[in-house]
Structure 1
Amino acid sequence: MSDINIELLINTYLVPFGLKILMAIAVWIIGGMLINMIAKLSRKAMSIQKIEPTLAQYGESTVRVALRIALVMVILEVCGIQTTSFAALIAAGGVAIGMAWSGLLSNFAAGIFLVILRPFKVGDAICAAGQTGAVAEIGLFSTTLTTGDNVCVHVGNGKLFSDNIINYTTNPYRRVDLKCQIANGVNPQEAIARLKIHVAKIANLSKAAEPCIEILEFNASGIVIAVRPFCNNNDYWQVFFDTNKAIADTCAEAGWPVPAPHQIEFHKD
């Protein structure tokens, strides 16, 4: 191949193609910077308007995704790829893409309903889809939870929306459910009175509801007493463990025997 042909090839094909690639890279970098700037400005504007953080995060994510799609379309035009042809290609494979994205689209739709219906918001403690934790973020397709052992869990919005959602933060206080097993022969009324004294000393009990300490059931070992104090959700585990300690201290202080199954044997003459 002659030098003239090589030069012609370079000038005709390689140079324009290289320029398009460089232009596409420049558009991607500059476009990405503009998208970040616009997203931050939109979030700041929503913050000034005192829009709820959950809705603000969702709105920012939507803006980012929409602008990224627009940026990709611009880059395709820069590279000389007609977007109409690209759209036709997507339409031709619409069935396959729809099947592959069905779960993703359902998560997206569920995310919209979660923001509109607001069964929970960022910062709430919830139990849903087999996970329990504090809501860190409600995204376009998944919700991020931080569990009690400080593990980050991403749950699909579709799975969350289709499951029962327990929100521990909605109500101002909640109940701690514990039991105290006392042996046969121990006076239950005396046990209840002693338990009330020790439970009343626990810190951070709710003043809106008195602790419920009553006979719950009977079994072969004696009587089971329900010990149910109320507290704020943030103080739940502290009250839970302190109540267990109060039950143990009550039993030790009273000197009650260890509960054991009690059986009476009948002898046939």
Structure 2
Amino acid sequence: MDIETVRAFIMTRGIDLGTKVVGAIVLWIVGRWVIGLISSLLRKVLARNGRVDPTLAHYLASILGALLNLLLVLAILQVFGVQTTSFAALLAGLGLAIGTAWGGLLAHFAAGVFMQVLRPFKVGDFVTAAGVTGTVTELGLFGTTIVTPDNVTTIVGNNKIFSDTISNYSVLPFRRVELTAKIANGVDPTDAIARLKAAITKIPNVAENPAPDIEVLSFTPEGPLLCVRPYTSNPNYWQVYFDTNRAIMQTFKEAGYPTPETPLAPRAITRD
């Protein structure tokens, strides 16, 4: 290839190709900026509307961003003269191939859509989903982000959550704390229950209605086993949990109750 051929190519097609490349780069930069601006504005508008849940707002903004990015790619291809009709057919075939290979991702996406419709939980709820317990911080296109009580961020696939049991602790205003306390056989259960009720009602954030439930749960060789069940709001669950344990220990100590002990059956040893 001689210099004249190169010069002729640059003068004819090179300038046109360079113009298209520059135009495509400018279109990509401006398009990405506009898409980010539109997505941000949509999130703010939906956030100001009290009737739209933050989870749904984030979900809609993510879907809109994905669609606008696809349109941007089609526009850039048109700059280079690629027919979008043929590209649409190619995209459909590519989508079928990707759908076959990434069936799991599509299942997560479909589950995310159903979760938005059925709304088993929202951002900020304390849940147990797919074996993970924590606070929901984000519901994405393919996975849900949950922060566990020990401050670990866990991302769980939407399909795994949707196909498993979901426990939402934030739906109802009160949650029951489940604890037990064992007393010795010589202790009067009625006296122990009365003392515990008086102590637990003084714990901060324990609900008055429903009132704490303290009853004889079962009988053991060491003595009766009491169930101790105060109610509280979800944010105060662990505070009431630990304070109740301390109240049980302090109440039994002040009452002078003996420590439950396993009775030993004496055995007689005979010698031949």
Q: Which residue of 2 aligns with 1:58?
A: 59
Q: Contact (CA 8 Å) 1:128, 1:160: kept in 2 or not?
A: yes
Q: Deviations over 1:195-250 (max 9, x none)?
A: 11211111001122110111111112222111100000011010001011111111
Q: Which residue of 2 aligns with 1:213?
A: 214
Q: Distance in 2 between matches of 1:93 and 1:68?
A: 17
Q: Unmatched 5+ residue regions in structure 2?
A: none
Q: Which residue of 2 aligns with 1:99?
A: 100
Q: Distance in 1 between matches of 2:68 and 2:94?
A: 24
Q: Which residue of 1 aligns with 2:23?
A: 23
* 3-state SS of paired residue (1:74): helix
Question: What is the letter of the counterpart of residue 113 of structure 1?
Answer: F
Q: Which residue of 1 aligns with 2:173?
A: 172
Deviation at 1:18, TM superposition (A): 3.3
Q: Which residue of 2 aligns with 1:139?
A: 140
- Give the 3 Å change call, closer, same or farther, for CA 150–14 of structure 1 in structure 2: farther
CA RMSD in angstroms, aligned pairs only: 2.1
Q: Which residue of 2 aligns with 1:70?
A: 71
Q: Deviations over 1:65-120 (max 9, x none)?
A: 11111111112222333333433434445554222221111111111111111111
Question: What is the letter of the counterpart of residue 28 of structure 1?
Answer: W
Q: Which residue of 2 aligns with 1:153?
A: 154
Q: Distance in 2 between matches of 1:162 and 1:256?
A: 49
Q: Distance in 2 between matches of 1:83 and 1:198?
A: 75
Q: Which residue of 1 aligns with 2:38?
A: 38
* Number of residue equivalences: 269
TM-score (ref. length: structure 1): 0.91
Q: Which residue of 1 aligns with 2:3?
A: 3
Q: Which residue of 1 aligns with 2:253?
A: 252
Identity of aligned residues (%): 49
Question: What is the letter of the counterpart of residue 81 of structure 2?
Answer: G
Q: Distance in 2 between matches of 1:210 and 1:95?
A: 58
TM-score (ref. length: structure 2): 0.90
Q: Contact (CA 8 Å) 1:220, 1:263: kept in 2 or not?
A: no
Q: Deviations over 1:32-72 (max 9, x none)?
A: 11112222232333344432222222211111111111111
Question: What is the letter of the counterpart of residue 27 of structure 1?
Answer: L
* 3-state SS of paired residue (1:183): coil
Which is worse superposed, 229-238 or 127-136? 127-136
- Give the 3 Å change call, closer, same or farther, for CA 91–40 of structure 1 in structure 2: closer
* 3-state SS of paired residue (2:172): coil
Q: Contact (CA 8 Å) 2:201, 2:208: kept in 1 or not?
A: no
Q: Distance in 1 between matches of 2:68 and 2:96?
A: 25
Question: What is the letter of the counterpart of residue 46 of structure 1?
Answer: L
Q: Which residue of 1 aligns with 2:265?
A: 264
* 3-state SS of paired residue (2:137): strand
Q: Which residue of 2 aligns with 1:184?
A: 185
Q: Distance in 1 between matches of 2:31 and 2:130?
A: 38
Q: Distance in 2 between matches of 1:40 and 1:18?
A: 33
Which is worse superposed, 8-17 or 130-139? 8-17
* 3-state SS of paired residue (2:183): strand
Q: Deviations over 1:151-207 (max 9, x none)?
A: 222211111111111000100101000011222322222211221121111100112
- Give the 3 Å change call, closer, same or farther, for CA 66–130 of structure 1 in structure 2: same
Q: Distance in 1 between matches of 2:151 and 2:165?
A: 23
Which is worse superposed, 149-158 or 25-34? 149-158
* 3-state SS of paired residue (2:146): strand
Q: Contact (CA 8 Å) 1:127, 1:165: kept in 2 or not?
A: yes
* 3-state SS of paired residue (1:44): helix
Which is worse superposed, 115-124 or 230-239? 115-124
Q: Which residue of 1 aligns with 2:224?
A: 223
